[in-house]
A and B are shown apart, each in its own frame.
Chain A
Amino acid sequence: MFSLPIYFIFFLGFFSYIYGKNRSKKKISFNKNSGGQPSHYGYYCLIWVTVPSIIFLLLWQVISNHLILIATINSIPPEVIPKDSTLKKLLLENIIIIAKGGKSLAQVPIESVDYYKKLKFFAITGGYSCTIIISIIFCFLSFRKIDPSLLAKNAIERFILSILFISSVVAILTTIGIIMSLIFETTKFFNNVNFLDYFFGLQWSPQMALREGQVASEGSFGAIPVFAGTFLITLIAMLLAGPIGLFSAIYLSEYATPLTRKIIKPTIEVLAGVPTVVYGFFAALVVGPFIRRTCESLGFSASSESALAAGLVMGIMIIPFISSLSDDVISAVPQSLREASYGVGATKSETIKKVIIPAALPGIVASFMLAISRAIGETMIVVMAAGLSAKLTANPLDSVTTVTVQIVTLLVGDHEFDSTKTMAAFALGITLFSMTLLLNIIALRVVKKYREKYE
């Protein structure tokens, strides 16, 4: 793409490294008090030559592209320009394709193509020469700075430190990106749909809003049934995983011999490493039909996409989360508490029930909360094994839908991005994000507090 200036910059950088190194050898008498080794001076020059010019080149590329697109749109004769924003985008894309020498069937104004080509040419030549000039200027400036008063090593270390800092900020940027992109689409959604209708509406049928001339805000975006479905499946999952996970944790940390523990613990954790799509396949292929057949032979009807199937498989998935976290907190309970309990004559199980579990309760609750947040956000199992229609029901044999299923069905295969349908997915997304975030923050706080208590 922009290979020429890049090659030049790296060539100049290499040259400046060698030159800076040699020049520092001549100008500076190196001893233990000088600002670094000759190679530090070389790297100092290298950094000044490459970094500013590459940053400039990247910025130029982004900004000039953006400006050229705006200018090209403005250059299209007013009688040709379509009003619809999607068609406008399409026209622009066709102009770019033709300007690059490709073929397009669309009717495109020739003058805009030429205009685009001209602007692109100026942007490339101008940008490339500016980049090269910048690198040369910094090259000379850095050469001039080489003298005994320059602490090259410190300068390089400051540079590395700032890069380290910037890379750790990426995590914050990701969070900001998530929140911004979700909020941006969600506000658009709430311009079309009433806030209260979304949170308290009892009917969810987003596909209806696609029909021509229908107003979206007629109660078809009521999220209650979707949340109800999510909670039903989560509840089933927790009813399975809660007791099994907790009892496994107790058994492994209090009763099992070290050898058993060494074998069983990793085996349970294999469950956590199985991809969720495999669980989904298992739920849809084995558990769903099994539940339906069992119910039919018992004489009542069950959907093959029942909430029970999805919930049970999800429960299997979250067993290791509960068991390993609870195991950690139970093991962290100080030995002195156990010994005191045995000392007054309690049996092992009494100690566990009356002393250890109350002591470890905050941690256990936190592990349950993390598991719940995991279950709410789980996607593949429910996409493959739960239903699509949003029903308000508490019957686990019925088919229900979840937040994640709705996000997926609203967004997959949908190319236009401005419909209320896609924006609804983002509204669901931000609700999901806030719920899991809340659960996680509380759980992490509790775990931290708990740890401090016994340390």
Chain B
Amino acid sequence: MNKSFLEKRYKKEKRFIFLGRVAVSLTIIFLVVLLGSIILRGISGFYTTNITIKTSLTQKIIDPTEKRNTKEIYKASWRKISKQSIYTILDDYNKNKNIEKNSRKEKRAFLKLFSRSSEFYIRDYTLKNLNDIGTVVNITIPASSLVDQYLKGKIDISVDEGNRPISDMQVSWVNFMLENKMIKREFNINFFSSGDSRNSEEAGILGAIVGSFLALVVTIIASFPLGVMSAIYLEEFAPKNRITNLIEVNINNLAAVPSIVFGLLGLAIFLNFFGLPRSSPLAGGLVLALMTLPTIIISSRVAIKSVPPSIREAAMGLGASKMQSVFHHVMPLAIPGILTGTIIGMARALGETAPLLMMGMVAFIVNVPQSITDPSTVLPAQIFLWSDQPERGFEEKTATATIILLGFLLTMNALAVFLRYKYERKW
């Protein structure tokens, strides 16, 4: 053997290790880029921009009869009030910069700095504080997502004016309001306390979270008992015959059926045959239950199998029946493992979207669902919906909602890991 031959072989060895390292580091880079790009885009969504405006709650417009009748007040022309008070800011600006008059186009551009539903914020404030009618008060309303995105630095101002959503005029207005400390950056409570909306500054995630929760409750009620019972049967009681074999093959294959096929099943059976309400957490949860059933069965079987046979034999030696040995002695030891598997299955169900697309759960729904038959959407479906919206503000919402979804998943998986470490036994 000459030396160069050996050197070649060692070089090959090094190259091979290098390739392995590259593969592993590429995978980790992918993970970092994936999570990083979403977190970078979404973290700012936890904050929002609010503008405090001096509103004169004119008696004549709001409550001309002075009866303080809430129903009448509710119907007053709030749009007028809100426009008036918003324009006072414009007047201040004009005085400051010595501008005589604004064109209509400019006025409209100015209105675009404020949330399209400013009037409702003023209305709600007034209905709560009826004594303030006739005075001038400070009311905080959300800025439009245009201002919000600009202040968060998501709009590049160095671009030519025609190619960006915010005009130079609007930028100078925003800067004026900033100088006068009218603009505040606050925690986005609205995002966590309201349902979906067409206006990105108002869209919230509560409806989707409640919908996800309700669907998961249905899923766990339907799949946990079924899954655990069939795991007990297959692991402890099933005779070795054709039927058992068929069931086992079936479960393994069901675990690998594409999730969208479960959606087709749900559409044909739950919606069209049984007539369950469309878009409801009930129908969606049942489909998710069928999907997670194999996961629960497989992990429960592993947990039951890991209980050593000596436990069963000891119980039966003391005169317990097979059923008693399983339910009184094996199950209590297997429960932590079963719960771990169930939580992981639930986490997967929480992130699942495709079958729910078929069940009509990807829909624009404003109201927060109250029961499992109300139309609702779920967290991943909400992400999908928002990601489709052209408006710029929704991109941030999508990323923020994704962070929240990932947060839930992380918590659930951490809980599963914790359970495993706490109760894991080496026999």
Tell me whether B406 and A274 are in contact (CB under 8 A). Answer: yes
If over half of A's interface residues share one DSSP class (helix, strand or loop), that class is named, otherwise mixed; here it is helix
Tell me whether A267 and B265 are in contact (CB under 8 A). Answer: no
Cβ-based interface call for A350 (8 A): yes
Tell me whether B34 and A316 are in contact (CB under 8 A). Answer: yes
Residues of chain A within 8 A of B24, CB atoms compared: 247-248, 251-252, 256, 264, 268
Q: Mark B260-293, 1 if CB is under 8 A from A, else 0.
A: 1110110111001000000000000000001001
Q: Mark B1-39, 1 if CB is under 8 A from A, else 0.
A: 000000001101100110111111011101101110110
A440 and B233 contact, Cβ closer than 8 Å, known pairs A181-B268, A271-B27, A278-B402: no
> CA–CA, A271 to B351, complex, Å?
13
Residues of chain A within 8 A of B353, CB atoms compared: 275-277, 379-380
Closest chain-A Cβ to B217's Cβ sits at a distance in Å of: 19
Tell me whether A433 and B261 are in contact (CB under 8 A). Answer: yes
If over half of B's interface residues share one DSSP class (helix, strand or loop), that class is named, otherwise mixed; here it is helix
Tell me whether A274 and B395 are in contact (CB under 8 A). Answer: no
The interface centre, meaning the residue of B28, B30, B251, B358 with most chain A CB atoms within 10 A of its CB, is B30
Stretch touching chain B among A77-85, A114-122, A132-140, A369-377: A369-377
Cβ-based interface call for A295 (8 A): no
Closest chain-A Cβ to B294's Cβ sits at a distance in Å of: 7
Residues of chain B within 8 A of A376, CB atoms compared: 258
> CA–CA, A383 to B353, complex, Å?
11
Q: Mark A236-273, 1 if CB is under 8 A from B, else 0.
A: 00000001111110111001100000001001101101
Cβ-based interface call for A141 (8 A): no
Name the residue of chain A whose CB is nearest to the CB of B413.
A273
Residues of chain A within 8 A of B258, CB atoms compared: 373-374, 376-379, 404, 432-433, 436
Partner of B19 from A247, A273, A380 at Cβ < 8 Å: A247
A244 and B26 contact, Cβ closer than 8 Å, known pairs A280-B384, A411-B358: yes
Which of the four size classes fits the interface of chain A?
A: 35 or more
Closest chain-B Cβ to A189's Cβ sits at a distance in Å of: 13
Name the residue of chain A whose CB is nearest to the CB of B261.
A433
Residues of chain B within 8 A of A270, CB atoms compared: 31
Partner of A168 from B225, B230, B259, B265 at Cβ < 8 Å: B230
Tell me whether A411 and B267 are in contact (CB under 8 A). Answer: yes
- Contact residues, A45-73 vs B (CB, 8 A): none
> CA–CA, A319 to B323, complex, Å?
43
Tell me whether B9 and A404 are in contact (CB under 8 A). Answer: no
> CA–CA, A178 to B297, complex, Å?
19
7 example contacts (A-B, Cβ-Cβ < 8 A) are as follows: A165-B237, A167-B225, A168-B230, A175-B250, A247-B20, A271-B30, A285-B398
Chain A residues packing against B (C-beta within 8 Å): 32, 153, 157, 160-161, 163-165, 167-172, 174-175, 177-178, 181-182, 184-185, 243-248, 250-252, 255-256, 264, 267-268, 270-271, 273-282, 284-286, 316, 319, 323, 347-350, 352-353, 370, 373-374, 376-380, 383-384, 404, 407-408, 411-412, 417, 425-426, 429, 432-433, 436-437, 440-441, 444
- Given contact pairs A171-B254, A323-B27, A440-B252, enumerate 17 new A-B contacts (beta carbons under 8 Å): A178-B264, A178-B265, A181-B269, A182-B268, A248-B23, A268-B27, A270-B31, A280-B384, A281-B399, A282-B38, A285-B37, A347-B13, A349-B16, A377-B259, A379-B259, A383-B354, A436-B256
